[in-house]
Amino acid sequence: MVTALANDNDLRQRAWDAAAQVVDPEIPVLTIADLGVLRDVQVHDGRIEVAITPTYSGCPAMNMITLEIELALERAGFARPTVRTILSPAWTTDWMSEGGRNKLREYGIAPPQASSSRRALFGEQQVACPQCGSTNTEVLSEFGSTSCKALWRCKSCREPFDYFKCH
Amino acid sequence: MATASIKVSETPLVLYTLRRADDALILGHRLSEWCGHAPMLEEDMALANMGLDLLGQARELYSYAAKVEAKGNDEDKFAYLRDVRQYRNLLLLEQPNGDFARTMVRQFFYSVFADLYWRAMMKSDDPTLAAIAAKSEKESAYHVRHCSEWIVRLGDGTEESHRRVQTAIDDLWAFTGEMFAVDDSERGLIDAGIATDPAGLRTQWLKTVSDVVDEATLALPKNDWMQQGGRSGHHSEHLGHLLSELQSLQRTFPGATW
């Protein structure tokens, strides 16, 4: 019994490591672990079940992410893994890791503000330009190239940039 | 129509969930009709994004209705294989896009309601509906902000934009009462703590709508006669045409996937 449990823990860790490598197809610098989309990995009779949570209701990347997780686990030697979606508690940008926020910034996307309060939802926000760091920025459009991003412009360096919206 | 419509066991919770799913799907489809036709690129993206949010909400709600019903239906069957009389959405949401002002007024009336509704539903005793609500209320907040800005810009804009947005308000006003209506099947869910009573949202809805309309130098109609029917499947002539487009592929090539 003890051996079986230890074995399960080992399997679980290996499965987690494999699943955690999957990247968001729309923001390929972020893994699903960075995003906080990867919620849980469980072992049932040697079979792996991964739980993920959707970022935005209509995020078209979720189907792709599910497929990528299954492929990653099969490549790591796990037969017929399953991926389950959990809705509660609802994902928020607060779950994005600090490493994830830094990777976003380096990629040229301004990371979401730390706390997704309703104040941020209602536009009282100061977003730093990911290129030059200036906070002299303005919003061009609340809705950007994907459902998770808005379009902003830096008034100091004049570069337009994507901002990962607070949710 | 090559494929027969499905049968749905409309227990109160299934019916309740389908009504909200149909709201999201039908309005989301209307917004998708703007894709490539909006007045400017940013607005094209905004309308498509809002449509995508609604489509996502619809999928989660349909999936939950299917799980509760447990009769082998799924999100696709609900969307593609129900006839017009089986649809339960608000009449407001199936109204044609018309001009840009009309689309914004329809979105504005509904989004202000949806934002209050989903926030109230976060306290539902049904954990799945509460979880869907927690996601949807954030999305609704963006929609409210977006269309409120447009109502002000159009109302306090040119003579023509003012006239168009006022006409849209006058024409769509009679469809807003249905958002607050409750029938016996919903009354039971409200008493059980699963649904929220929409009557309790009306004062705040009217205040938010009035504030924006005032700022936009527009006026709400004095006429309070309200048209209902969508919740029980009595639709305007527009929904059948919408569904014929939405469902044409699945009705013509049953079970087609890609």
Residue of A55, A57, A59 to mutate, interface with B, max B Cβ within 10 Å: A57
Residue A124 — very low, low, confident or very high, per pLDDT cuts 50/70/90? low
Angle at B64 between CA B62 and CA B69, to 5 degrees: 95
DSSP B203-233: HHHHHHHHHHHHHTT----S-------GGGT
* pLDDT exceeds cutoff 60 at A120: no
Asked if the C-beta of A89 comes within 8 angstroms of chain B's C-beta atoms, the answer is yes
Q: Is there a domain that residue B153 lies in? A: yes
pLDDT exceeds 80 at position A5: no
- The whole-angstrom distance between A59's CA and the closest CA on chain B is 7
pTM of the model: 0.91
Structural contact between residues A146 and A26, judged by C-beta atoms closer than 8 angstroms: yes
B139/A57 Cβ within 8 A: yes
Residue A151 at interface with chain B, using a CB cutoff of 8 Å? yes
Instruction: Sketch the domain layout of chain A as residue ranges.
Output: 2-85, 96-164
Residues in chain B closer than 8 A to A118 (CB atoms): 141
- Asked if the model's pLDDT at residue B1 lies above 70, the reply is no
Q: For the residues B201-220, what does the mean pLDDT come to?
A: 98
**Taking CB atoms and an 8 Å cutoff, what residues of chain B touch A145?**
45
A106 pLDDT band, cuts 50/70/90, is very high
Chain B residues with a Cβ under 8 Å from any Cβ in chain A? 42, 45-46, 48-50, 52-57, 59-60, 127-128, 130-132, 134-136, 138-139, 141-142, 145-146
Q: Hey, what CATH class is A2-85 in?
A: alpha beta
Q: pLDDT tens for residues B59-76?
A: 999 999 999 999 999 999
CATH code for the domain of B85:
1.20.1260.10
Q: Are B221 and B157 in contact (CB under 8 A)?
A: no
Cβ proximity of A58 and B57 under 8 Å: yes
Q: pLDDT averaged over chain B?
A: 96
Please tell me the predicted confidence (pLDDT) of residue A12.
Answer: 93
Tokens for A74, please give them: 């099969």
Q: Note the pLDDT of residue B151.
A: 98
Provide the domain limits for residue B70: 12-252
- The domain tally of chain B equals 1
* Residue B91 within a domain: yes
Work out the minimum CA distance from A25 to partner chain B, whole angstroms. 17
